[in-house]
Amino acid sequence: MRTSVINLTKVIAVLLFLQSFFVQASLLISPMRVVLDERTRSGKVVLMNTGDVTRTYRMEWVQKSALPQGGYKNLTDEEAKNFPIASNMYRISPKQVTLAPNERQVIKVAARRPKNLQDGEYRSHLLFTALPERNTGPEPTSGIVLKLSLSYSIPVMFRQGALNSEVAVDDVQLLHNTSNNQGEVVVKLSRTGATSTYGSIVAYWTPRGSDQERQVAILNSVNFYPELDHQYYHLHWLKYRPEAGTLRVAYEGRQEMRNTLITEKTFDMPLSKIIKK
């Protein structure tokens, strides 16, 4: 009996993985974040079904806060009362769409700013849920029937007032994975202020005795949100070769912060500071 339960658990895990991969691979969402403000009070998100079957997607608001180690946690109703949410000032249309293969749909997002809104940044997450496909055939008489609703969310923000944030590179670690000879740059950022920042963290390397700097690692789509005072980011350095040198870490703005160097810092990295794992 125990063996059957274990095997059943494995089967469910595999099916969940495959289904999750299929849904993410067959739904194209663009852009992956929306930022509106006093001057720009409407935006749009384009959905495209890149799969080979017709799917129905439902849109709704959820409240999430960022975690220092990355990712998000869902807020309880009580926690959401003390969080600067944006969903109460947003309208989305339509709220559900059915898309044939290669069909696309524009989701309109409009903001209605309340009177006397305090300066700062307000955020909610727009959740896109792929509803289970309808089974038009006969129900199986034995086995397991999995009808999954899989989802993905993007941040939608409203900013009142000017950008207000200060970001610094606090620390960096250079790790050497001896099993596959790959490198990993672990960056700790700290921040203050009422608005988030968005961009790419880029690592540049200059070998000891050389003046030729080169880009060795990059992490795109980095949101650093106001509820965090620090966060860790992991950048993968391909074709890494252990050597002494200088590591410059730059947080470079993208989208509404493009052409902005948010922060940077240079670290001396002798061989003794490279951590083997």
Same domain, 135 and 27: yes
Look up the domain containing 118 and give its range: 2-160
Ramachandran region, residue 209 (left: φ > 0; alpha: ψ -120 to 50; beta: rest)? left
Q: Do residues 189 and 70 touch, judged by C-beta distance below 8 A?
A: no
Same domain, 69 and 34: yes
Same domain, 121 and 17: yes
Reply yes or no on whether the pLDDT at 83 is more than 70.
yes
Same domain, 145 and 207: no
pLDDT band at 138 (very low <50, low <70, confident <90, very high): low
Compute CA 6 distance to the chain's CA centroid, rounded to the nearest angstrom. Answer: 33
| pLDDT digit string, tens, across residues 20-59 | 344 455 889 999 999 999 889 899 999 999 989 999 999 9
Query: Where residue 106 sits, what CATH number does that domain have?
Result: 2.60.40.10
Task: Count structural domains, the chain.
Answer: 2
Among residues 101, 131, 160, the one where a domain terminates is 160
DSSP result, 238-263: TT-----EEEEEEEEE-GGGTT-EEE
Q: What mean pLDDT, rounded, does the chain reach?
A: 87
136 Cβ partners below 8 Å, 6+ apart?
none
Same domain, 34 and 134: yes
Among residues 131, 160, 189, the one where a domain terminates is 160
| pLDDT digit string, tens, across residues 159-204 | 999 888 999 999 999 999 988 889 999 999 999 999 999 999 999 9
Same domain, 139 and 212: no
Same domain, 184 and 104: no
Same domain, 241 and 258: yes
Q: Do residues 223 and 198 touch, judged by C-beta distance below 8 A?
A: yes
Which carries the bigger pLDDT value, residue 23 or residue 63?
Answer: 63
Q: Do residues 217 and 202 touch, judged by C-beta distance below 8 A?
A: yes
Same domain, 87 and 193: no
Question: How far is CA 53 from each of CA 49, 50, 122, 263, rounded to the nearest angstrom?
Answer: 8, 9, 37, 45
Angle at 81 between CA 88 and CA 153, to 5 degrees: 55
Which carries the bigger pLDDT value, residue 162 or residue 4?
Answer: 162
Among residues 107, 126, 160, the one where a domain terminates is 160
For the segment 121-140, the average pLDDT, to the nearest whole number, is 79
